[in-house]
Chains A and B, each alone.
Chain A
Amino acid sequence: MTSLASVAAPAGPVGGSRLGKILVYGVLLLFALFFLLPLFVMIVTSFKTLDEIRDGNMLALPVAPTIEPWIKAWGEACIGLTCAGIKGYFWNSIKMVVPAVAISTMLGALNGYVLTKWRFAGHKLVFGLMLFACFIPFQSVLIPMARILGLLGLANGTPGLVLVHVVYGLGFTTLFFRNYYEAFPSELIKAAQIDGAGFFQIFWRIILPSSGPIIVVTVIFQFTNIWNDFLFGSSFASGESAPMTVALNNLVATSTGVREYNVDMAAAMFAAIPTLLVYVLAGRYFVRGLMAGAVKG
């Protein structure tokens, strides 16, 4: 960092660059605080008692921190008519997001591999159509999707949601992998063919092991989208099989007298933690992956 700064410094007018830097970092800091504020409020609220919430300042730290709201949100809160917390729905989401992310990423990788290294007549058209899939608004596919799920007997359940998310995510994952593999040297594929490796052997042994960054990017992208999805969840999985996002909405909407903000906030935190975790664990690769793609172009 210091070497970078010392190299960059002489380029700008002396003094002006320092002021500029302070300005830039100041603005960045301000925005960061602004964006983090809701998260801060959520966290402090989730550790307060109801009395404290009612009387105190929204931004104040809890006077007597308690994890009671978290326990309640997880196992006791009422959603609709049952009062077993959000844990069941949390697992619903996990059962939906893991296979959906895994399958859509895998298929995206395969598609990208075929579209760049095993080109066939009309490969551009196929890719164009898949790209098109990225731009179809969710709402417009709801009714045909419902009909298809009904025909397949997958209406109202996690497997149906997995299918929906895989189909909807395929356009994006294919786009990611195709662009990444475009820059992958074709000579490696030729060499492997001469060496006697077949289609899937090349994919498993050579292509996939070199795809780390783009897999991370795709997984983060798909995980966030699918985990946070509300529309498909509320349309195709209601009641017991609803995913986390839908349950959270129902929890907040279920009124049993007093509105328990602390429990709502704790439940919302449960809903947010997995995506946060994925970002923290893989975030470094996310940025690196985006950069790698940009440089290779």
Chain B
Amino acid sequence: MAFLEIIGLRKRFASMEILKGIDITLEKGGFLVLVGPSGCGKSTLLNTIAGLETISEGEIRVEGRAINNLHPSKRDIAMVFQSYALYPNMTVAQNIAFALEMRGVPKAEREAAVAEAARTLQIGHLLKRKPSQLSGGQRQRVAMGRALVRNPRIFLFDEPLSNLDAKLRVDMRVEIKRLHQATRATIVYVTHDQIEAMTLATKIAVLKEGEIQQVGTPYEIYNRPANLFVADFMGSPAMNLMDAVVAAGSGRTEIRLTREGGEIRLPIPSSVTADGLGEGRKVVLGIRPEAITDRNGADRTSKAIEIVEAQVDVVEPAGSDTFVVTRLAGKEVTARMPADADVRAGARVPFAFNLDKALLFDPATGLRL
């Protein structure tokens, strides 16, 4: 039985439905990351789990028991807010101990718990300061400390790293991961950051306009996106999506992409499970930038490398790799080549498409085929 179960959850503000039937389960010790565009209802979902928002329909269960009618303080959850929400009038130590104090934990025990949390987060030297005297990263740690001392059944994080600069984000991300591995806590985590989602999650849920698009492991979400939205949303640079048509080729069914002065013929990717792709059917070919390389960089274990010659539009060196942009099927297509690849804008070069890693989508429904 799953540890956290969200069943048919709906949330309406006045007449507006913000969450439209959410079903998610999370096992004990799991790390669920909620991603989605701004305003899709991530924070609202987190707030309903915390009990800060009532729900209109559905149920939230923890260890098999419904908690949706419990007061936030009775749910045994801890939440880290985007703004950290540290009490400005209290010291760091008082902030961390506040929840314990409210629960009537004796002073000696409280102090021990604070010391323990401070040691884990390395904020022992800050305990006597006020939040206004801390840096962003230190505040973030105090906010985590406040959640940690509680030792709750579930941790909720609402974009805890979004206020930090890039370097600190990476450090804190690693720290959160380490913390999760050390404590085996059950965590629900909201983020906008692709990399945070991919590195931290044991499970990712992609939301759009209050509906779940896909729930799965980071690998599944990245390599087997359920529809065009997930394919486009996850990954940076985004997956290349090109319009194509199914056609009968010489001894095989192929897909054809139009291009200036002709067309490209490619085999049907092996990932396609749907059968009966009729001739003339419109499809969308999805292929990630790293599956398009130069000839030398092509994956040698792949059985379906196709070489396509095309003119280079733009070359974007990105340090470890170089992104090469060309135009195919009326769309910009990005390829990921080694940093030392010898390509110049305007040149015609061969691109190696790894069709093993390619996907097909139905343009009408958006679903993967």
Residues of chain A having any CB pair with chain B under 8 Å: 185, 187-188, 190-197, 201, 205-206, 209-210
Contacts and interface: CB of A to CB of B under 8 A. Distances in A.
Contacts of B146: 191, 195
Closest 3 pairs between A and B when the two form their complex, measured CB to CB: A196-B102, A209-B89, A195-B99
B52 A190 contact: yes
Contact of A193 (B73, B78, B87): B73
Contacts of B79: 190-191, 194
A118 to B, nearest CB: 13
A278 B353 CA distance: 80
Contacts, number: 56
Interface in B92-131: 98-99, 102-103
Contacts of B87: 188, 191-192, 205-206
Contacts of A209: 89
Majority-rule SS of A interface residues: helix
Contacts of A210: 88-89
A195 B146 CA distance: 9
A258 B47 CA distance: 77
A195 B81 contact: no
A194 B72 contact: yes
B52 A195 contact: no
B102 A201 contact: yes
B89 A195 contact: no
Interface residues of B, number: 22
Interface in B47-94: 47, 50-52, 71-73, 77-79, 81-83, 85, 87-89
Contacts of B82: 187
Contacts of B50: 190, 194
A264 to B, nearest CB: 47
Interface of B: 47, 50-52, 71-73, 77-79, 81-83, 85, 87-89, 98-99, 102-103, 146
Contacts of B85: 185, 187-188, 190-191
B77 A194 contact: yes
Contacts of A191: 79, 81, 85, 87, 146
A209 B102 CA distance: 17
A196 B50 CA distance: 12
Nearest to A201: B102
Nearest to A191: B85
Given A190-B52, A209-B89, A210-B88, A197 B102 contact: yes
B102 A195 contact: yes
B73 A195 contact: yes
A210 B50 CA distance: 25
A104 B339 CA distance: 71
A219 B187 CA distance: 46
A196 B77 CA distance: 11
B358 to A, nearest CB: 44
12 contacts: A185-B85, A188-B85, A190-B50, A190-B81, A192-B87, A194-B51, A194-B73, A195-B73, A196-B102, A196-B103, A205-B98, A210-B89
Nearest to A190: B52
Given A201-B102, A210-B88, A193 B52 contact: yes
A196 B73 contact: yes
